[in-house]
Amino acid sequence: MRSVLVRYHEVALKKGNRRYFIERLKENLVASVRDLGFREIKSLPGRILVLFERESDTEEIRRRVQSVFGVANFSFAVRTEPDLALLKQQILTSLEGTRFASFRVQTKRADKRFPLTSPEIDRQLGAAIQEQSHARVDLENAELTIAVEVLPDDAFFGYEKIPGAGGLPVGVSGRVVALISGGIDSPVAAYRMMRRGCRLVYVHFHSFPFLDATSQHKVRELVQLLTRHQFRSRLYLVPFGEIQRRIVASVLRPLRVVLYRRMMLRIAEAIARKEKASALVTGESLGQVASQTLANLSVIEEASRLLILRPLVGMDKSEIIDQARKIGTFEISVIPDQDCCQLFVPRHPATNAGLAEVLRAESALDIQSMIDFGIENVAIHDFHFPELLPKTISDEERA
Ligand code: ATP
Ligand code: MG
């Protein structure tokens, strides 16, 4: 049976939430590989073991596990009986034809009833490997590390340690609503909060039919991509053009962007309440554009009572772009579209909108009916990863 040994950072675990962390991580691992010949998942001391059918697709399993947050590193391992002679024989067979100049054996013995200690197992296996391969033992900088784990009912050995995505398992930090625009920044902001253990619900505001529908297509692609990390996501598409039209009818140009943003926050807050989410996430970065000065950010956030998370606030554009490339969102984000906030606004919006001035402008609007309009006309899309497969033929039917 093929198996994957998953390790997590013990330091990330505070005492009280250890079990919760591990349960979430196990659920997420199962969700990520459930269509790849998954058989079973078990907690072992300090690690998690995922068992697969023999013929499972190793490369795909590797890609999937690499995008599960909370995984520090993992390795593919072979299972044998917890018996030294068998273990030795299987390791030697698996190493036939492999060339390496130096190696080390690292044994972890979780079953203290096993007759040998870990260093004794290291030495005995090491001697056999050395005899077959003529490679030297190097405890510091070995070219090949053979990791052995001895448990009460099974033993495992494996080679390469593959780095995981780190962070915290999605779900342990609770649920938040991410405002996603189709630009470069907000998908990166979403990714960073997911990596801190948040489960995201997405909201996108579009100005269709006043503008074309490209931003909606982009956001759907972005959410599908980001769903690799949380396995199921919901996207609320809110028609914003009519709301903007009402703002434009009574508000002078320089204030419009700030009023658009305040409306976005109010509607996102209403969605967050419905979804039982406890914060909003935006891709705002201090000073990046006129609407993101300290003065404007505070006037904007005054519209909502929810906590607003801005994971990019201290990042440079070039750092954000680097990360967007790494997580694969950049190529989608740079497809040209028509940004709803550019609708009916001047090239130079106010950089220092005062709250009093903004409240005066809003007093001419029926804010509640605008929120209701957005909520009532919302379209909801659900995403799954792996994408739901049509029901497969059951074994009996096939026979
Ligand atoms: P981005 O690259 O994410 O579009 P930006 O640099 O263009 O960000 P703004 O246009 O000021 O900055 O938007 C700031 C944040 O407001 C975005 O990161 C996003 O979280 C939210 N936002 C802006 N427009 C929309 C929209 N149409 N739908 C949902 N959220 C939006
Ligand atoms: Mg934008």
Residues 250-265 have pLDDT tens digits of 998 889 999 999 999 9
What is the predicted pLDDT for the residue at 253?
83
Residue 92 near residue 157, CB atoms below 8 Å = no
**CB of residue 181 inside a 6 A radius of ligand 1:** yes
**CB of residue 169 inside a 6 A radius of ligand 1:** no
354, 310: one domain: yes
Position with higher pLDDT, 207 vs 391? 207
Model pTM? 0.90
What is the predicted pLDDT for the residue at 70?
96
Q: Residue 382 — very low, low, confident or very high, per pLDDT cuts 50/70/90?
A: very high
| Cβ count near 214 (within 10 Å) | 16
Per-residue pLDDT of 95-142, as tens digits, reads: 998 899 999 999 988 878 889 999 999 999 999 999 999 999 999 999
389: pLDDT strictly greater than 80: no
The domain containing residue 66 runs over which residues? 2-163
**CB of residue 180 inside a 6 A radius of ligand 1:** yes
144, 179: one domain: no
| CATH label of the domain that carries residue 103 | 3.30.2130.30
137, 163, 189: which is the final residue of a domain?
163
65, 128: one domain: yes
Q: Is residue 278 classed as helix, strand or coil in its secondary structure?
A: coil
Q: Among all ligands shown, which has an atom nearest to the Cα of 287?
A: 1
Q: Residue 322 — very low, low, confident or very high, per pLDDT cuts 50/70/90?
A: very high
Q: Is 98 left (phi over 0), alpha (psi -120 to 50) or beta?
A: beta
391: pLDDT strictly greater than 90: no
Q: Which of 22-26, 74-78, 172-176, 287-291 has the lowest mean pLDDT?
A: 287-291
Q: Residue 393 — very low, low, confident or very high, per pLDDT cuts 50/70/90?
A: very low
What is the predicted pLDDT for the residue at 252?
86
Q: Residue 1 — very low, low, confident or very high, per pLDDT cuts 50/70/90?
A: low
Look at the block and give the residue holding tokens 């269509």: 35
What is the predicted pLDDT for the residue at 282?
98
Q: What is the mean pLDDT of the chain?
A: 92
Q: 78: CA distance to ligand 1 center in Å?
A: 47
Ion ligand 2 — residues with CB under 5 Å?
Answer: 181, 183
| CATH label of the domain that carries residue 250 | 3.40.50.620
The residue whose CA is least distant from atom 12 of ligand 1 is: 284
From 176, 177, 179, 210, mutation site for ligand 1 pocket: most ligand atoms within 8 A of C-beta:
179
